[in-house]
Amino acid sequence: MTKANTLGETEDLQENLRRLTHLLHKHKLVEGLVHTQQMPRQELVEALVHKQNLAELQNLLDRLHPADVAHILEAMPLEDRLMIWELVKAERDGEILLEVSDAVRETLIATMDSGEMLAATGQLDADEIADLAPDLPRDVMEDVFQSLPMEEREQLRAAMSYPEDAVGALMDFDVVTIREDVTLEVVLRYLRRLDELPDHTDQLFVVDRDEHLKGVLPVNRLLVSDPDATVGSVMAKEMVKLHPSDNAHQAAQAFERYDLVSASVVNAEDKLIGRVTVNAVMDFIREQAESEALNLAGLREEEDLFAPVWKSLKNRWTWLAINLVTAFIASRVIGVFEDSIEKLVALAALMPIIAGIGGNSGNQTITMIVRALALGQLNAGNARKLFAKEIGVSAVNGVVWGSVVGLFAFFIYGSGSLGLVMTLAMMLNLLLAALLGVLIPLTLHKLGRDPAAGSSVMITAVTDSGGFFIFLGLATLFLV
Amino acid sequence: MTKANTLGETEDLQENLRRLTHLLHKHKLVEGLVHTQQMPRQELVEALVHKQNLAELQNLLDRLHPADVAHILEAMPLEDRLMIWELVKAERDGEILLEVSDAVRETLIATMDSGEMLAATGQLDADEIADLAPDLPRDVMEDVFQSLPMEEREQLRAAMSYPEDAVGALMDFDVVTIREDVTLEVVLRYLRRLDELPDHTDQLFVVDRDEHLKGVLPVNRLLVSDPDATVGSVMAKEMVKLHPSDNAHQAAQAFERYDLVSASVVNAEDKLIGRVTVNAVMDFIREQAESEALNLAGLREEEDLFAPVWKSLKNRWTWLAINLVTAFIASRVIGVFEDSIEKLVALAALMPIIAGIGGNSGNQTITMIVRALALGQLNAGNARKLFAKEIGVSAVNGVVWGSVVGLFAFFIYGSGSLGLVMTLAMMLNLLLAALLGVLIPLTLHKLGRDPAAGSSVMITAVTDSGGFFIFLGLATLFLV
């Protein structure tokens, strides 16, 4: 019995290793590092698979970057994931938890006791703990607070007080500050006394006694300037200053436009309280793009690939329910015209064409407008021009595609008047799609709502019900 | 007459200024810079509007960052855009052309003669000229080549030889190289002889006589280490090395995972040929996310907001044509069952519900799978698990939503058997959606195609035609 168990375990391990190898292999997991001086990872893992050695697997995991371990964990079904998670050295738990997706983080934290969670946060900075905080139990967070020195406790409290899309949530506190009146030589000596500089230190922040931000000294300028010059004479006085309550989206735009690596964050009194770095911004941009793509498809949030069925359902139901309601409405619109359909059954076969193409065209318009709104390129001044353009596009589309579907109807059913009704309905539905494709996102924007979130459902609802109504209505008037 | 003209021009100018103010105002154009030491931009522009002074508008434009000028140009209707473009100092043309979207760049270049284009490229590095090259006439590019010194000519040729999604297209040539055997003191003195360091210089590249890359010296390490130490003893030997033919998508993943600011690019002989910086990567990520969003909505490429109608049509027609074909097919599927619909007209009103919800559910599945494929999280090992999960989700959805639509049909039409057929059809179509929602992207991926591009059209086509067939087929079997 014991033997069988041992064997079974070995097989499990082998299977896990096989998967890990496969992952590392096939999906070129650590692409960026493949060309390092090290022994290539794949050979390493193959060797491990041969020896079937748990200790070496652990060894390999220890040598992987936390982000790579996170990636492996995300790609593993639950039981394998937890097995790998057990092998990861405890002192790296915190860093890895930071890197995994929210959904996967939940599954990992579920296996940890309070002590382990507390230990995991012990390796992290205040701003990083703030990122984990929503997933930790309240009593653990209280212990975490107690364990921090006063300054970090204040930082953690500050970092946790900002909504996810505020600059405060992207901010860290790793700023190196210097005074205006010292020479660069002094700065260089001061830096040499430090063990290391914080990641992404491309500039030092020049502050006065009260922490007011006076300027920034780019490291590149420090390196090329005369060491006898003073900081004040070399520093840049024009700089990007963010406020913790600023919208993170706008901070990201500043990073993209001005090619920043870091930017200062100051409070209302212009005192330096932290900085934002490009890696935090890049993560933010990626997350925004992802959640936009997910929302478009009707997924509420990122889903653990191997989430249990009921969790997936929760993630998907809101959208399906909303769509069901719009489908019911469209169905009742058709229901009104059942007499006409009974008399001319071709209408039933043709009506989805009108609705479908209208929806496609409307979604094209909406995507354009939502994008222009996000980039701040739309305003009262040019909205009219845009409106005219979209109407023009839909008019041409109406004539062209309307004729195509009209001919289709004529060839299938041999009725010229049916073809004409088809053409007219197509033109009108495309016009409706263009009108509302501009109006819906503009209105949502004016009401302070996110136009990206609901526009697509609404336009589809309108072009479906509207398309059915226009086509069946025209047919009832002219054909039946 | 002259007076009227002058007046007219003044009014135009005023209108332009009004719009510019409005833009700067309302859309907080230069968000990141709003908190600089400068006089706030809005007041400045308001003052300008009062004076109606062309020279001052020009002055303002000259003081804006090229990226901000680019943004203003993108948000302006064509005639205003070209008016602003005329005011921009010629020596900034190149930088601004780099920042505007492809579509807008085309409109700006159309107003320039060969001499102006040549002058614009004169301010740019080889890698930047390569970005503009596709939009410049062939004869201008030949002049550009002639005007470059030998080394840059080679760089330009190299940069132009890579496809848009290769590391080579993101690469620049601004590398600072040092030797292994010198002390840090010597490095510091060497740097001080330079006027400035290239942007985003977070590390110096350590090469031997033949340009072989031996390691990197992070600037932060240079600053904290003993000046008497040699480069060889301080440098990092483990580093990310990219090859110019590597996929840019994977380079971007490396930047995101390892929080890089720059990374070396080496050729097959391990010789340093350039570097990639985080700002190029961030632009790439943004462009990728944008073009994905556009493609999803059926737009071939980014559109100039104020593009003429015919240009917009070209951008949108492929998608509409494909959808029309799938709509025709669905229409013919319905056509087969016209007899049944004639006998039981309720079928016409109910059938769009089955098709619609199937399409929504299928798109949810596809989005999950496409995302997992893009992140390299899907492989032969876990595909089966994922398949099982999606089938599970669709089974529960089928029972729940199937019952809801069944009840809906029962209450509207008072027929229990019609309700049952509705429920059964919904279950089957959701199952079909789940099956193909997994299979379509996996198959496209296996064939080496981009699963994000065509998956959504295909699943909708299947759930439409399939949904109609299943529902009408079942109804014909059991009800008619």
Q: What is the DSSP string of B83-103?
A: HHHHHS-GGGHHHHHHHS-HH
- The shortest CB-CB distance from A363 to any of B35, B297, B327 is to B297
- Is the per-residue pLDDT at B22 higher than 90? no
Task: State how far residue A78 is from chain B, nearest Cα, in angstroms.
Answer: 10
Q: Are B108 and B73 in contact (CB under 8 A)?
A: yes
Neighbouring residues of A468: CB distance < 8 A, sequence distance ≥ 6: A330, A333, A334, A337, A351, A354, A355, B352
**A100 chain-B contacts, CB cut-off 8 A:** none
Count of CA atoms in the C-beta half-sphere (13 A) of A22: 15
CB-based contact, B357 to chain A, within 8 Å:
yes
Q: Would the CA dihedral through B407, B408, B411, B413 be positive or negative?
A: negative
Strands B213-218 and B241-242: unpaired
- The shortest CB-CB distance from A75 to any of B32, B67, B382 is to B382
* pLDDT at A53 (0 to 100): 60
Strands A213-218 and B213-218: unpaired
A393:B199 CB<8 A: no
B18:A345 CB<8 A: no
CB-based contact, B396 to chain A, within 8 Å:
yes
> First CA to last CA across chain B, in angstroms?
80
A356:B305 CB<8 A: no
**B418 chain-A contacts, CB cut-off 8 A:** none
B381:A352 CB<8 A: no
**A396 chain-B contacts, CB cut-off 8 A:** 309-310, 313
CB-based contact, B282 to chain A, within 8 Å:
yes
Per-residue pLDDT band for B262 (boundaries 50, 70, 90) equals very high
The token pair at A52 is: 């079937």
The amino acid at B299: L
A331:B350 CB<8 A: yes
CB-based contact, A396 to chain B, within 8 Å:
yes
Phi, psi of B309 (to 5 degrees): -50, -45
- Separation CA A272–CA A361 (nearest Å): 49
- Is the per-residue pLDDT at A3 higher than 90? no
- Containing A218, the helix (H) or strand (E) segment is strand A213-218
Instruction: Give me the DSSP letters along B341-381.
Output: HHH-THHHHHHHHHHHHHHHHHHHHHHHHHHHHHTT---HH
**B264 chain-A contacts, CB cut-off 8 A:** none
The amino acid at B468: F
Task: State how far residue B143 is from chain A, nearest Cα, in angstroms.
Answer: 30
- Is the per-residue pLDDT at B62 higher than 70? yes
**B398 chain-A contacts, CB cut-off 8 A:** none
Ranges A303-307, B106-110, B311-315: which has the least confidence: A303-307
User: For residue range A336-384, what is the model confidence (pLDDT) as tens digits?
Assistant: 999 999 999 999 999 999 999 999 999 999 988 888 888 777 876 678 8
Strands B241-242 and B262-266: parallel
B352:A330 CB<8 A: yes
Q: Are B197 and B249 in contact (CB under 8 A)?
A: no
Task: State how far residue A37 is from chain B, nearest Cα, in angstroms.
Answer: 6
Sheet holding A272-277, edge to edge: A241-242, A262-266, A272-277
User: For residue range A79-115, what is the model confidence (pLDDT) as tens digits?
Assistant: 778 888 888 888 889 999 999 988 899 999 999 998 8
**B377 chain-A contacts, CB cut-off 8 A:** 27, 71, 74-75, 305
The token pair at B259 is: 């929080």
Mean of pLDDT values over A50-75:
77
**A326 chain-B contacts, CB cut-off 8 A:** 356
Task: State how far residue A146 is from chain B, nearest Cα, in angstroms.
Answer: 31
Mean of pLDDT values over B390-412:
94
CB-based contact, B43 to chain A, within 8 Å:
no
Strands A203-207 and A272-277: unpaired
Which has the closest alpha carbon to A89: A125, A127, A119, A45?
A119
Mean pLDDT score of chain A, rounded to an integer? 85
Ranges A107-111, A293-297, B442-446: which has the least confidence: A293-297
* pLDDT at A43 (0 to 100): 47
CB-based contact, B448 to chain A, within 8 Å:
no
* pLDDT at B210 (0 to 100): 94
Per-residue pLDDT band for A73 (boundaries 50, 70, 90) equals confident
Mean of pLDDT values over B213-219:
96
Percent of chain A topping pLDDT 90: 52
Interface test with A, best of B368, B384, B457 (most A CBs within 10 A): B368
Residues 175-234 of B with CB under 8 A from A: 188, 191-192, 194-197, 199-202, 219-227
Count Cβ–Cβ pairs < 8 Å, chain A vs chain B. 424
- Is the per-residue pLDDT at A286 higher than 70? yes
Per-residue pLDDT band for B42 (boundaries 50, 70, 90) equals very low
A389:B312 CB<8 A: yes
B238:A196 CB<8 A: no
Phi-psi region of A182 (alpha: psi -120 to 50; beta: other; left: phi over 0): beta
- Containing B203, the helix (H) or strand (E) segment is strand B203-207
Beta partners for A265?
Answer: A242, A274
- Separation CA A156–CA A152 (nearest Å): 6
- Local structure of B214: helix, strand or coil: strand
Mean of pLDDT values over A117-146:
90
Phi, psi of A226 (to 5 degrees): -65, 125
**B292 chain-A contacts, CB cut-off 8 A:** 289, 293
* pLDDT at B205 (0 to 100): 97
Higher pLDDT, A298 or B245: B245
The token pair at B2 is: 């002259």
- Is the per-residue pLDDT at B25 higher than 70? no
* pLDDT at A52 (0 to 100): 55
User: For residue range B147-185, what is the model confidence (pLDDT) as tens digits?
Assistant: 999 888 989 988 888 988 899 999 999 999 999 999 999
**B335 chain-A contacts, CB cut-off 8 A:** 346, 349, 412
* pLDDT at B259 (0 to 100): 92
Which has the closest alpha carbon to B75: B32, B22, B131, B13?
B22
Q: Are A127 and A173 in contact (CB under 8 A)?
A: yes
* pLDDT at B20 (0 to 100): 63
- Is the per-residue pLDDT at A270 higher than 90? yes
- Separation CA B328–CA B349 (nearest Å): 19
User: For residue range B263-302, what is the model confidence (pLDDT) as tens digits?
Assistant: 999 999 999 999 999 999 999 998 888 888 888 778 877 7
User: For residue range A173-220, what is the model confidence (pLDDT) as tens digits?
Assistant: 999 999 999 999 999 999 999 989 999 999 999 999 999 999 999 999
CB-based contact, B303 to chain A, within 8 Å:
yes
- The shortest CB-CB distance from A285 to any of B285, B319, B335 is to B285
Residues 6-25 of A with CB under 8 A from B: 18-19, 22-23
CB-based contact, A342 to chain B, within 8 Å:
yes
Match 């492929």 to its residue by tokens: B318
Query: How many other C-beta atoms are found inside a 10 Å radius of the C-beta of residue A8?
Result: 10
- The shortest CB-CB distance from A256 to any of B253, B286, B389 is to B286
- Give the domains, in start order, of chain A with CATH numbers: 2-164 (1.25.60.10), 177-296 (3.10.580.10), 309-478 (1.10.357.20)
* pLDDT at B105 (0 to 100): 93
Query: How many other C-beta atoms are found inside a 10 Å radius of the C-beta of residue B327?
Result: 25
- Separation CA A186–CA A228 (nearest Å): 9
- Separation CA B177–CA B168 (nearest Å): 19
Mean pLDDT score of chain B, rounded to an integer? 85
